[in-house]
Amino acid sequence: MQQSLKLATENAAVTEIECLNVIILTATNVTELDGQWDCLIELTSSSGLLALAEPFVSKRLRTTQSDVETAQPLSKLCLEFPDLYIGCYRESRTGPLVISFEGKDQSRVEAAAEAHCKKFHPGAFYEIN
């Protein structure tokens, strides 16, 4: 079922289209979208319309180790930290390997990155933004 709602705060009004659990904002430019988003967040936090979750945190490590050298330790790490998304990619065909750790708990992300680094010689990985 689709319905159109008009939400308003002191700062802005938001016309949105809601279909089941999907909300579509009707902005036509970035300024309108920023205003509508702020309005929606303000209303949801005060009225309980939506449950706001904690944002994901991440950490990325870069290394010159080969995919083969890092594959098995990463596989084991995924079993040790099932609540985290752990993945890797290369920025270019011959570039360094980037390992990404993502989750809701900063301490778990840090622990996974530290556990992975301990499996290799010191200096094999360095943190990137």
pLDDT tens for each residue of 55-107: 899 999 999 999 899 999 999 999 999 999 999 999 888 889 999 999 999 99
Same domain, 63 and 41: no
- State whether 63 and 99 are in the same domain: yes
Q: Does the residue 8 lie in any domain?
A: yes
Q: Which residue has the higher pLDDT, 18 or 113?
A: 113
| Tokens coding 127 | 């943190």
Contact 82, 97 (CB under 8 A): no
Q: Cα(19)–Cα(3) distance, rounded to whole angstroms?
A: 7
The phi and psi torsions of 89 (rounded to 5 degrees) equal -160, 165
Is residue 27 located within the same domain as residue 82?
A: no
Does the pTM of the predicted model rise above 0.75? no
Beta bridge partners of 84: none
Query: Whose structure tokens read 């802005």?
Result: 12
Whether 61 and 110 share a structural domain? yes
Number of domain units in the chain: 2
Which residues span the domain enclosing 30?
Answer: 2-47
